[in-house]
Chain A
């Protein structure tokens, strides 16, 4: 009996233990997650990976929710084009005040987020290194994707090169063990690398000149390679880089921030590249938008997609979600102050307004106080050119119709209909203007609004040609003719043919501001021209009187700091102190 119990006990113990020891207890169950091999095992997933490569393409309008740029404002507010509100979280305010160091950039964002470039470059290299493994894609498709990756890498390099100068050159996806040998390369070496990548794409037979399937709009094309090459050459020829000595002496590292020689031929290269780009584009279906009327051509060219008639766009980048209603989205930051919760994070300055001329070529005298006739708040602006009317909202402009709505940008006026909910604090007033560009057709309701970031338009090639040829050989009729196309399509008179080289140069500074307002040109144009940042920002004080007249009086609304060493962006202090040999730019 007892032996029986004993045996029974052993049996029970073994029975309880046996299910455990028979399997690999700690083995993780099969995962549903993806790895690299799975992604590149079929074209469908490879294509999905391709889409992610586009998520870090340059954009112009940033929001707060994105939380990746200036904590709300966009680059436009760093130049004299616009000003952002006094909300303390906007990092623009620290930049205006000059209260930034390289350490500051380790915890906050300037207009650039350094590591996102490297992430994008790495992902593009992963695609380049693995695309040939995909079994179910044709050589043509693979070739096209390779071209796209190369141009996207070139775009990232260009974006870093113009900010930081010479940077490490990497030619593959790295492991943490590789980076230690990577040092900054010369400005010239990076320049050559960008051109090499562009040339590779230009020589690639599989990448289309223009996206023919409208569903693929947004993908990189050969035209972008031509355009980027011209743009890079323009920067290379411009005074900041094309110089024997840099903006600040950097000793033996001068070659990281300039070419260490002045070569006039760089202007010729830029001129030729622009001409090639224009010829390539125009023989492949791109054209300046001139057929929708002087009050609309510009809007189509800068804001609309090809499906809406934009033939001029070389590369437009998009957002990944609707902007409607999302508090903190670009619409909120760019939106009309006081309306739909707009924050006025990017409010046009009086400086910007003064860049615009009347349609007859004359300009408004803002240095004296302007008093309007009764009930004509729009009086000072009414003759300003069509591009102005499509770009900036002002007191008394017709914001939308049915019913007609005229914003009241005067002291005591209501900026928007829904201003000042009870208990809500009004957004501090920074300027009596509002962004209109990119919001055309959506002033009343942002429903369905999908703005495009016009990162590169054919018009830019016209300007590169005009500027580079003027610098290389003085004004030419070809340059004037190209500029006239841009001017006349927006109802402006042709360029004065009597301008000399200096005169045309000054004209181009103004015209570039107007044509590319809020397209991220001004801030970097000023730097490449080695012109210090504008320190004095103006606003206009608008008062309404009982007799229904208005007065407009210009005043200094902000004084900004400018430092000579700001011509180049600092690397975040963290990167320097990781001690792998990264050299900080001078002054930072």
Chain B
């Protein structure tokens, strides 16, 4: 505590000195110049222009990419994250589930940099950390990705994984404009698996039993019955077809208003989104539906108040309420059931009585529709406010401000649930001739309200104080400087609050618009580490040279703009998944029973030994890049980047002897490096009646684990080490064929995963020790994170018509079929057999078999990571395509409307992939969607 106080004093003193120097420097440079006006205003046409002629960051030597809100708008899906595919070089966006209300995409900036707990970037919305879901698409002014250390240095201790900066729209002075946007469409699932029919299933099940040396359980008459089909006695139920609709509607409406005078400017928006799920037969209960239906309403008001010519205030509010109806059963259990529940069990045995068995009493129809419904409620409230004072009367060019933000997220869900009976058919009732039913499994109950669960809340309080300074030095040089003090406090349920505190500064010195140097420093602190280790200093420096402003290139007809830049620096990450590791503590340790009774006594025991040295994960990033404008309408940029991560948390269990008798906290020992290149090319041309543009970006990345304390492996198996391989590199065995005979098994290295039979998978003995075990596992293929990503935006306009499309491709990625065993691992854990299973091994087709023998018993030999189960899943997707028409203003002005635009937009309409059976991205659970939409934008 005492230490802490001294520290705070020191911090204050340091901050004071910094401010003093800042002030002196500012006043010394004297004369103020007008705010930077380098970048041209981006022309406001309906056709999207991915870039203006000059790069947005042309004055800065650091590495950033920006996309404007209007570009995002044209590609917008029903969630913000899913609207960013392929738009920003270096931002890898991966599609996840298509479930309404849960469609969050996954982001990486330039791939994986660490094998620590998270590679997820920091996302800032208007300066403060927020979830991307807490921004409505129509409120986005721009999204900027900060990639190198120099660009993100202001966020020093939080910036190691890169930063995504979202700016929301602000009011534009002038007559009030109201824009109404309507969008509606249908979406349908992609890549749903198919399963064999009951007759084939029964035949193959018998085949599997035979290969296990067990007698068949399906008689020929039964198989014949399945082939003929009878919904009760010989069912052949395609559960997905029965319960998953081909399409579901979604609709969105937004009203935004902007305008203002020289005192008050406003941007206000209200949006509503309705997004429905795919489940079928959900309307069988009068009072409620069990389908997914996600409703979301959001509201934003951004106000700028110019109180005096020097004093500006902002008041921003955002609120969002999401209300989602869904079946009581979890999405994962529903899709697990749809993909594994046997086709040989009837949906209904009689009237409304559901089919089932004693072991599997809940069929998917009951799971989705007869267990009641769940209501999930989410609420975001964000309040930001700032005051900014122009101190030009004291020091010209100096602006001081304070920003304050408070947010609250709350979620809760409550279920109205019930249970139901199901029955097996055990014969024919001689009396009625109808089916004879077993005793019921389960019990019918009435709908009952359950106490709310999943009740959780997070609150964050943020405050920034800043000084901005810019001045001209002499007539040709410019200095801009920023000083930012930040702190935030996050309260997550019962957890001890999370804190961040930092003081950062950034100075940019520009000589004749030819040379610039940017130096940044951040002194960042967190509560998670020991006093003395809480703060860390992060530096960054970058330099740029605008060759096109040199005399030898001035007015060159080809090169309109050319900049070379280089940067290096260190940023960090305090959110490493380990807090307070510097403390020793004692924890509850289960219990032990003494005496005569049957109730045990709890105990305390020592927790892991503390590590007082735990500190930031550090990322040293370096980059060399160039940006250019050629022939006036071609923008080309390239960058090479390199990152070295140090201080990655690693376990000490492989380093410290067991003798010490206690586990130890992790240490900052791991190291990894990653690097890659990034290219982007934009061509933009317009003529009298028409224009076109093409934007291409490409990112290639690689990584390497440099040190991770690993368990030793036997000599000869060094490939087994993860060190030296890529981060998240998959490991497995090398599949070399199927065992053809008992002799083959006898003469091959002994496989130690379980007993093997002919038709089982045979692996290569990588270390030639005569055994196949985990030490024969080596790096195989690629992870699901691509090695390179490609984005292509193309478009054209002719008079009032315009068309544009965005393609995204990811290359060098593999999927592991074992991550969806229901589809790819036949009969494992009572799975069905999907149509992917092709020619399983039997005695008859041993030479040509393409799948291991079917088996009904657990087979850890076959069903484990190996090259057989890793499939390349490169893909190219048409993420969006839009065709629009702007009604000529001569027409609209007659009805006193500024603009009317109608359009059709398709999302994910085309996918080309080397993996064709299922969706190459969303393998498990609720499928990803493609959609077809129509929209209308009206501006008054």
Contacts and interface: CB of A to CB of B under 8 A. Distances in A.
B661 A174 contact: yes
A118 interface: yes
Interface string A26-43: 111101011110110000
B8 to A, nearest CB: 6
B765 to A, nearest CB: 14
Contact of A86 (B4, B357, B755): B755
A107 interface: yes
A426 to B, nearest CB: 10
A17 B593 contact: no
A448 B664 CA distance: 39
A173 B310 contact: no
A11 to B, nearest CB: 11
A12 interface: yes
Interface string B734-764: 0000000000000000101111000000000
Interface in B600-614: 600-606, 609
A573 interface: yes
Contacts of A548: none
Contact of A320 (B526, B592, B595): B592
Nearest to A13: B402
Nearest to B717: A103
Contact of A5 (B310, B858, B860): B310
A423 B652 CA distance: 45
Contact of B359 (A114, A219, A421): A421
A578 B308 CA distance: 70
Contacts of A141: none
A319 B593 contact: yes
A45 B654 CA distance: 33
B307 A423 contact: no
Given A88-B860, A179-B660, A423-B360, A9 B311 contact: yes
A498 interface: no
A2 B393 CA distance: 11
A24 B656 contact: no
Interface stretch (B237-245, B707-715, B901-909, B930-938): B707-715
A5 B5 CA distance: 35
A526 to B, nearest CB: 26
B499 A39 contact: no
Contacts of B580: 28, 31
A174 B659 contact: yes
Nearest to B489: A25
A26 B487 CA distance: 9
A215 B664 CA distance: 35
A354 interface: no
B655 A448 contact: no
B596 A217 contact: yes
Contact of B586 (A12, A26, A49, A174): A49
Contacts of A215: 594-597
B594 A218 contact: yes
B359 A52 contact: no
A261 interface: no
Interface in A240-286: none
Nearest to A124: B661
Contacts of B585: 31, 33-35
A478 interface: no
Contact of B591 (A25, A175, A320): A320
Interface string B508-547: 0000000000000000011100000010000000000000
A318 B606 contact: no
Interface residues of B, number: 86
A35 B661 contact: no
A546 interface: no
B605 A20 contact: no
Interface string A414-442: 00000001111100000000000000000
A39 B714 CA distance: 43
Interface in B850-885: 856-858, 860
Interface residues of A, number: 88
A574 B712 contact: yes
Interface in B649-672: 652, 654-662, 664
A575 B657 contact: yes
A218 B605 contact: no
B584 interface: yes
Contacts of A178: 660
B23 to A, nearest CB: 14
B656 A318 contact: no
B899 interface: no
Residue among B358, B527, B593 with max Cβ neighbours from chain A (10 Å): B593
Given A86-B755, A119-B662, A13 B389 contact: yes
B925 to A, nearest CB: 24
A319 B401 CA distance: 64
B389 A51 contact: no
A588 interface: no
A322 B1 CA distance: 46
Interface in B402-431: 402, 404, 424
A88 B526 CA distance: 47
Residue among A26, A29, A423 with max Cβ neighbours from chain B (10 Å): A26
B499 A26 contact: yes
A53 B661 CA distance: 13
B354 interface: no
A94 B752 contact: yes
Contacts of B857: 425
Nearest to A113: B658
Interface in B243-271: none
B308 A218 contact: no
Contacts of A2: 308, 310
A36 B662 CA distance: 14
A373 B260 CA distance: 106
Contacts of B487: 20, 25
A118 B658 contact: yes
A214 B496 contact: no
Contacts of A450: 593, 598
B656 A10 contact: no
A54 interface: yes
Interface of B: 1, 4-5, 8, 12, 307-308, 310-311, 357-360, 387, 389, 393, 400-402, 404, 424, 463, 465, 487, 489, 496-497, 499, 501, 525-527, 534, 580, 583-587, 589-598, 600-606, 609, 652, 654-662, 664, 711-714, 750, 752-755, 771, 773-775, 830, 856-858, 860
27 contacts: A5-B310, A9-B311, A20-B463, A24-B4, A27-B4, A35-B584, A39-B586, A45-B604, A49-B603, A52-B590, A52-B604, A88-B754, A88-B858, A94-B752, A103-B712, A122-B660, A123-B661, A179-B659, A182-B657, A215-B595, A218-B593, A319-B593, A422-B358, A450-B593, A574-B712, A578-B655, A580-B659
Q: Which 7 A-B pairs have the closest CB atoms?
A: A52-B603, A122-B661, A115-B658, A423-B359, A88-B754, A118-B661, A577-B712
Given A25-B501, A99-B773, A115-B658, 18 more contacts: A13-B389, A16-B465, A17-B463, A26-B526, A35-B584, A39-B586, A49-B586, A52-B589, A55-B590, A106-B712, A174-B661, A176-B656, A421-B359, A422-B358, A423-B357, A423-B359, A573-B712, A582-B657
